[in-house]
Structure 1
């Protein structure tokens, strides 16, 4: 084997071993509504990956982490408060980052993401763990928002008003709320954006 071919093989093996996937983390639980808040960014003091990478992944696929699974039943948004955080560098309206997940979430026992070959494989893992209708949480499906929703009392576009204004909903990103109460001491595997390479398994 010549030296150039050997180096190419070493690089290929190294690249395969370093495949990265995207993760989120639970940042808070609101017991009034039984909901969790999830974010790309870890809360202060978290000992581990601080932020997700939705473009190329942030965590080695050989790492054992829980899978964040979701059952979207189109539940109306509860009246959790959303106020302008005053972000001067945000690319989107602030509601975009506090969208509603439209259902329930749960986390599995830790597993290596590399064991899943396709999206269908990991969806089946969620379904076998929690039941029919459960699948891996996905960036492209994780939340919806309506301009002006929330407020200090959280009421605007909640409950029946949320459902009645389905035509105004837009897809959110980087953070969301959903019914559940999962662990908050570890990051969670998610399905990354469809047009990016941040997922351990095939889209």
Structure 2
């Protein structure tokens, strides 16, 4: 046994000595040049510019709604004002006559509201006051939107406490228009 121990010790010493020798080839001039470090500059913190304004809806959708609005306004005896407010209210009432389903509202929307443009995503995850909503870059009261639900023929946007932030009515297709509780105009569209 002592013979095996001595042989093991000699082999171990030889292996250690072989690992420490400089008989390994050196990487002389064939080494790649060292990388230059990236410049280290401070990151500037600035406010991002507001998102671009939304694109105008397609003509085919608008022309059908304008004709319907004109007919409805003339039948009810309302005259559209120069800013189009009376016609717009009639349009909302005439187009959104039936109930809206949650599945038809579900998804991502671009938002135009007083103060800027942003995005809102409506999901079917249960949340305080209805279902989960996430707003991104929204100004004013619309920034507080964290829930949504459907009530009859309206989409109701709510804050984290379940209080109403805005009520919107369908104006056809995937477009909803209305007002926030504070009176801001708001439009959701895709």
- Compare the two structures and name the one with the higher strand fraction: 2
Structure whose alpha-carbon radius of gyration is higher: 2
TM-score, normalised to structure 2, is 0.26
Tell me which of the two structures has the higher relative contact order, counting C-alpha pairs closer than 8 angstroms and 6 or more residues apart. Answer: 1
Q: TM-score with structure 1 length normalisation?
A: 0.24
- Give the helix-richer structure, 1 or 2: 2
